[in-house]
Structure 1
Amino acid sequence: MLLRWRLGVVVGGGVGVGHEVCLRLARSGSGVLVVDPDAASAEATAAAVRQRRVSGWSLQADPSVGGTDAALVAGRARDLGGADLLVTTGLGARAALALGRDLLADPVLVPGPRDLDVDRTAAAVLGLLRDAEPGAVVLL
């Protein structure tokens, strides 16, 4: 999919590979909703996204616990016009797909790479997203 003008939701986007995925999405022209349990980390990543002249928003939430936090993420994405893709770190497949159903019209689970190197993993995720259709849920 062409990533320009898309809205990507990155759960766990405040640190590590999630942070790097957010920055790479921004460089590709995507707006990014950074979701992280740590509000300061989420906002720092969203600020770095905005420095790349695309829209970036932060949201303190932990959808791994389900319930209200998952609904909060879905509601915020709808407020922003709807998500086109979801990247999750730290969620199991079941939780990631459930969140994908809340966010995306036709979610498709795409297993992500299992590399420990942050840069290689983030680059591989962007490659997966470019090859995928809108509605991709990448599970890291």
Structure 2
Amino acid sequence: MLKITKFITLIVATMGVTGGIITTTNPVTASANTKFRYYKNIKDHTYKIKTTKPYVYSNGKITHKTIFMLGAFGDKGEYVLVTYASHVTQNGKKVVYYKFKNGAGFTGWVRRSALKKGNTTKSVTRILKTVKPHKGWS
């Protein structure tokens, strides 16, 4: 009886070590599969910042994430000017990113769900259009 329990313990330990080696040699890579589809020039319109959590990208192909979140460019409820749309596919789903410019002249690309179309006066839109882009940013 003692030999059988030692034998079973040895088999279980061997299977555990073998399973541990197999799982560590095949790492799982998790990343967003992003494919650029096309740009679209849209009519300039002011949008309100709906949420400040999304990351801002520096190009429309969504290949370079900046260190900033949308909250660094303005608080919730502030207005930004949107001029272009970038259509990409992320993990098989179609997603739209907007190029925005805030009142300080900083620009970036952010997901459409982070912005909400705002009804502003023409003077606010005119002010946002006349702001020169900040140096060092496109």
| TM-score, scaled relative to structure 1 | 0.25
Q: Which has the higher helix share?
A: 1
State the structure with more CA Rg: 2
Q: TM-score, normalised by structure 2?
A: 0.25
The structure with the greater share of residues assigned to strand is: 2
